[in-house]
Amino acid sequence: MRYAPLTLTTLASLVPSEIDAEVRITDEGVDEVEVDRMEADLVGITAITGTAPRAYEIAARLRQRRIPVVLGGVHPTLMPEEAMRHADSTVVGYAEESWPQLLRDFVAGRMSPRYDQSPNLRLDNLPFPQRELYNSGLVNVAHTIEATRGCIFQCDFCVVPAAWGKPLQKPVADVVADIRQMKAKRVIFLDLNLIADVAYAKELFTALVPLKIQWGGLATTTIAWDDELLDLAARSGCRGLLIGFESLNQASLNETRKSFNMRHDYHEVVQKIRDRRIALMGCFVFGFDHDTLATFDETVDFVMETHMDLPRYAVAVPFPNTGLYKKLKAQGRITTENWGLYDGQHVVFEPKNMTAAELLENTRRAWKKTYSYLSMWKRLSGSRTQLPIAIPANLGYRFYAYHLDTFYNCDWQLAPNA
């Protein structure tokens, strides 16, 4: 289920042309990093929260060998002071301006310990990501693209408002030019909420129509409020949407500042999307303060009733510096700050209406119940949307559901000090 991230290929494209640099990139999610044999003048490492300890370990080993290290990405943006303790320089926020500046400073022998995103950053006229540097044989989808960054909403658990603030957009013409030069017929948009600005989304979808591509991306339930937008998405080739339903409980949605989710009934949202032959990956989070032991079965019942194409569950994660983190921290309910466990597969806080073990066990049960062969057959025969994509995707998720212990950083287990 892996698709190519654009982080390193984007950074590679930003290396100023006057610097005679040989750039190599490695994605440790799918490949080996030869830390102790690597030769380089400068190494940049990207870190999300769950991979931060590993990034710090690699940084320490390289710095021991006197190879300078730059850290950047979501986690260093959320926790800059912490990241700075592990690097020669840290890039906070988006790096379209600061990374080229850092490299020029490095060449001139005056690299600063920290570079911040400029408040006036724009995403116009940027070079295309250097996708050819990424070993795309190692992922299922190589043609990924980005049109926008950020989101207009302020959901309490989300890293987007905490890390990046106001939304940014690439000119639609640049996005279209990138798709054309990729010669891709199927693309995935990595934008966290492609429809955050509805007018922009309509302009983008209209421009995609003549390309005759098929695409998937992330949106919110608000897409179902606007039939014109949904029709345009379908006409432009949208075949799959990932939508964060998060919870079936209005109190949980209100608590997490995602109350806009329930303005329309979820059944209606699913139906409207299905009517356009768009497959739906619905994401649900367990462990909010209003969740009870009944929440798990209610959620599984909902995905079965609505014949959801590809449901996905996660344990709530209070990513550092988010509203959820600050609340739980103030209440003394964060049980570990081992960031390696902040991956949606571990319980890192004290839940309210259940124990940490119950939260973990019931999430695991929900995965297995949803991805039993019988459940898969019932959901997909009721949905019949994009079956050539939905069947292999379900088999992939079934494998994940039945091998949760073997994914990511450690076993699917309670945090050691939880």
Chain-centre distance of CA 253, in angstroms? 20
Tell me whether residue 6 or residue 410 sits nearer to ligand SF4 (CB atom): 6
The helix/strand/coil state of 62 is: helix
What percent of the residues of the chain are helix, what percent strand, and what percent coil, each to the nearest 5? 45, 15, 45
5 binds ligand B12 (CB under 6 A): yes
* Four-residue CA torsion sign, 111, 116, 119, 125: positive
222 and 201 Cβ atoms separated by less than 8 Å: no
Chain residue whose CB lies nearest ligand B12: 72
**CA torsion, ordered 271, 273, 277, 282, to nearest 10 deg:** -100
Q: Which of 12, 56, 75, 189 binds ligand B12 (CB under 6 A)?
A: 75
Check binding of 219 to ligand B12 (CB under 6 A). Answer: no
Q: Contact between 401 and ligand SF4 (CB under 6 A)?
A: no
Rounded least distance, CB 410 to ligand SF4, Å: 26
**Cα dist from 365 to 68, 71, 88, 284, 369, whole Å:** 45, 37, 44, 14, 6
Q: Are 65 and 154 in contact (CB under 8 A)?
A: no
User: Contacts with ligand B12 in 344-383 (CB under 6 A)?
Assistant: 344
C-alpha 9 chain-centroid distance: 17
Site track for ligand SF4 across 162-201, x = CB under 6 A: ------------------------------xx--------
Min dist CB 358 to ligand B12, Å, is 20
Which part of the chain contacts ligand SF4 (CB under 6 A), choosing from 126-134, 136-144, 153-161, 313-321?
153-161
Least distance CB 82 / ligand SF4 (angstroms) = 22
The yes or no reply on residue 99 touching ligand B12 (CB under 6 A) is: yes
Taking CB under 6 A as the criterion, the residue among 58, 70, 213, 229 binding ligand B12 is 70
Rounded to a whole number, what is the largest CA-CA distance in the chain?
63
Name the one residue in this structure whose structure tokens are 């500042």.
257
With binding defined as CB under 6 A, does residue 230 bind ligand B12? no
Least gap, CB of 157 to ligand SF4 (angstroms): 7
- The DSSP letter of residue 349 is B
In the region spanning residues 251 to 290, those forming contacts with ligand SF4, defined by CB under 6 A, are 258
Q: How far is the CB of 323 from ligand SF4 (least distance, A)?
A: 10
First vs last Cα of the chain: how many Å apart? 30
> Smallest distance, Å, CB 72 to ligand B12?
3
Name the site residues for ligand SF4 (rule: CB under 6 A). 151, 153, 155, 158, 160-161, 192-193, 220, 244, 258
